[in-house]
Amino acid sequence: MTQKFRLAEGGRINRDRPVRFRFDGITYHGYEGDTLASALLANGVRLVGRSFKYHRPRGILSAGAEEPNALVQLREGARTEPNMRAPQVALFDGLTAESQNRWPSLEFDVWSVNSLFSRFFPSGFYYKTFMWPASFWMTYEKFIRNATGLGKGPVGKDPDRYEQRHQWCDVLVAGGGPAGLMAALAAGRAGARVILADEQSEMGGSLLSDTSEIDGSQSADWVAGIMDELRSMEDVTILPRTTVSGYYDYNFLTLLERVTDHLGEDPDGKTPRQRFWQVRAKQVVLATGAIERPLSFLNNDRPGVMLAGAVRTYVNRYAALPGRKAVIFTNNDSAYDTALDLQRAGAAVTVIDVRKAPRGARIDAARAAGIDIEDGRVITRANGGKRVTGVIIRDLDESGKSVTGGSRSIGCDLVAMSGGWNPTVHLFSQSRGKLRFDELLAAFVPDKSFADERSAGACNGSMRLSDCLAEGLRAGLAAARDAGFNVRKAPTAPKADEAEVGATMPVWLVPSGKRLGRGGKHFVDFQNDVTAADLHLAHREGYVSVEHLKRYTTTGMGTDQGKTSNVNALAIMAELQGVSIPEAGTTTFRPPYTPTGFGAIAGRNVGAFMDPARLTAMHDWHVEHGAMFEDVGQWKRPWYYPRDGERMEDAVNREVLAARSAVTMLDASTLGKIDIQGPDAAEFLNRIYTNAWLKLPVGSCRYGIMLHEDGMVFDDGVTTRLAKNRFLMTTTTGGAANVLTWLEEWLQTEWPELQVYCTSVSEQWATVSVSGPYARHVVGSLTDYDKLGPRDLPFMTMAEMKVAGIPARVYRISFTGELAFEVNVPRRYGLALWQAIWEAGRKYGITPYGTEAMHVLRAEKGFIIVGQETDGTVTPMDLGMDWIVAKKKGDFIGRRSFARADTARPDRKQLVGLFTEDDPHHVLVEGQQLVEEVKRAPPMKMVGHVTSAYFSPNLGRSIALAVVKSGRERMGETLYAPRLGGGRPVKVTVTDPVFFDKEGVRARG
Amino acid sequence: MFLIDCPYCGPRQQTEFHCHGEAHIARPKDPDAISDAEWADYLFNRSNTMGVFYERWVHNHGCRRWFNVARDTVSDRILAVYRVGEKRPKVTK
pLDDT digits (tens, 9 = 90+) for A814-856: 999 999 999 999 999 999 999 999 999 999 999 999 999 999 9
Cβ pair B56:A897 closer than 8 A: no
Answer whether residue A763 shows pLDDT above 90.
Answer: yes
Question: How sure is the predictor about A882, in pLDDT bands with cuts at 50, 70 and 90?
Answer: very high
Whole-model pTM? Answer: 0.91
Q: Note the pLDDT of residue A141.
A: 57
Q: Look at residue A368 and tell me whether its pLDDT is greater than 80.
A: yes
User: What domains can be seen in chain A, in order of their start residue?
Assistant: 14-126 (3.10.20.440), 162-290+423-482 (3.50.50.60), 294-417 (3.50.50.60), 521-577 (1.10.10), 611-638 (no CATH), 891-1004 (2.40.30.110)
Answer for the pair A55, A112: CB distance below 8 angstroms, yes or no.
yes
Please give the average per-residue pLDDT across A509-526, as a whole number.
93
pLDDT at A653 over 60: yes
Could you tell me if A172 and A284 are in contact, meaning their C-beta atoms sit under 8 angstroms apart? Answer: yes
Q: List, for chain B, all residue ranges whose pLDDT scores fall below the cut of 70.
A: none
Question: Looking at chain B, which residue has its C-alpha nearest residue A279?
Answer: B1
Strands, E assignment, B9-73? 10-13, 18-22, 52-58, 66-72
**Contact across the interface for B2 and A900, Cβ inside 8 Å:** no
Give pLDDT, residue A137. 52
Cβ-based contacts of B26 with chain A (< 8 Å): 750
Residues A615-652: b if buried by 16+ CB within 10 A, e if exposed: bbbbbebbeeeebebeebeebbbbbbbbeeeeeeeebb
Residue type, A34: D
d(CA A426, CA A664): 64
ipTM above 0.90, yes or no: yes
Q: Tell me, what's the pLDDT at A357?
A: 95
Give the chain B residue whose CA is nearest to the CA of A902: B36
Q: Where are the domains of chain B?
A: 3-83
Query: What average pLDDT does the segment A761-784 reach?
Result: 97
**What pLDDT, on a 0 to 100 scale, did the predictor assign at position A146?**
54
What pLDDT, on the 0 to 100 scale, is given for residue A211? 86
Q: What is the pLDDT of residues A239-264, one digit of tens each?
A: 999 999 999 999 999 999 999 999 98
What average pLDDT does this structure show over A485-502?
Answer: 83
Q: What confidence tier does A155 reach under pLDDT thresholds 50, 70, 90?
A: confident
**pLDDT at residue number A109:** 72
pLDDT at A138 over 70: no
CATH code, residues B3-83: 3.30.2270.10
Q: Does B87 touch chain A (CB under 8 A)?
A: no
Chain B residues inside the 8 Å CB shell of A748: 65-66, 84
| Residue A737 parent element (H or E) | helix A736-745
Per-residue pLDDT of A557-577, as tens digits, reads 888 899 999 999 999 999 999
The DSSP bridge pattern shows strands A305-307 and A414-418 to be parallel
Q: With an 8 Å Cβ cutoff, is B58 touching chain A? A: yes
3-state secondary structure of A343: helix
- Cβ distance B39 to A891 less than 8 Å, yes or no, reads no
Q: Is A749's CB within 8 Å of B75's CB?
A: no
Does residue A156 carry a pLDDT above 90? no
Q: Could you count the other beta carbons within 10 Å of the beta carbon of residue A919?
A: 11
Using alpha carbons, select from A489, A532, A535 the residue that is nearest to residue A512: A532
pLDDT digits (tens, 9 = 90+) for A70-82: 999 999 989 999 9
Say how many Å lie between the first and final Cα of chain B, rounded: 20
Q: How many helices (H) and strands (E) does chain A have?
A: 25, 49
Nearest CA distance, B9 vs chain A (angstrom): 17
Q: Tell whether the model's pLDDT for residue A413 goes beyond 60.
A: yes
Q: Cβ–Cβ of B1/A744 closer than 8 Å?
A: no
Question: A253: distance to nearest CA of chain B, Å?
Answer: 9
Tell me which chain B residues have a C-beta less than 8 angstroms from the C-beta of A900.
Answer: 36, 39-40
Convert the pLDDT of each residue in A784-802 to its tens digit: 999 999 999 999 999 999 9
Judged against a pLDDT cut of 80, whether residue A927 lies above it is answered with yes
Which residue of B26, B43, B66 is in closest CB contact with A748? B66
Give pLDDT tens digits for A273-329: 999 999 999 999 999 999 999 999 999 999 999 999 999 999 999 999 999 999 999
Average pLDDT over residues A104-119: 68
**pLDDT at site A113:** 65
Instruction: Specify the DSSP element, H or E, that contains A280.
Output: strand A274-286
| pLDDT tens by residue, A427-456 | 999 999 999 999 989 999 999 999 999 999
Q: How far is A17 from A30, CA to CA, in rounded Å?
A: 9
Query: How high is the pLDDT of residue A487?
Result: 83
Of B1, B26, B66, the CB nearest to A745: B66
Task: Please determine, for residue A134, whether its predicted confidence score (pLDDT) is greater than 70.
Answer: no
Q: What is the pLDDT of residue A850?
A: 98
On whether the CB atoms of residues A42 and A34 are closer than 8 A, the answer is yes
- Predicted confidence at residue A930, as pLDDT, reads 97
* B37 CB within 8 Å of a chain A CB: no
What is the overall mean pLDDT for chain A?
93
Q: What confidence tier does A208 reach under pLDDT thresholds 50, 70, 90? A: very high
Residue A770's pLDDT band, with cuts at 50, 70 and 90, is: very high
- Calculate how close chain B gets to A996, using CA atoms only, in Å: 39
Q: Which residues of A touch B (CB under 8 A)?
A: 248-250, 252, 280, 432, 450, 709-710, 741, 744-745, 748-750, 752, 891, 895-897, 899-901
Closest CA to A930 of A944, A911, A914, A915: A944
A744 with B85: Cβ contact below 8 A = no
- Give residue A104's region: left, alpha or beta (phi > 0; psi -120 to 50): alpha
Q: Which positions in chain A touch B13 (Cβ < 8 Å)?
A: 280
User: Hey, of A167, A738, A896, which one would you mutate to test binding to chain B, going by the most B CBs within 10 A of its CB?
Assistant: A896
For residue A293, what pLDDT is reported?
97
Give the residue from chain A lying closest to B84, CA to CA: A749
- pLDDT for A265 equals 79
| Residue A296 near residue A572 (C-beta atoms within 8 A) | yes
pLDDT of residue A54: 86
Quote the minimal CA–CA distance from A959 to chain B in Å.
Answer: 37
**Cα A665 from Cα A644, distance rounded (Å):** 20
Q: How many CA atoms lie within 13 A of A286 on its CB side?
A: 32
Chain A and chain B share a number of CB contacts under 8 A equal to 48
Q: In b/e form, how buried is each residue of A843-863, taking b as 16+ CB within 10 angstroms?
A: ebebbbbbbbbbbbbbbbbbb
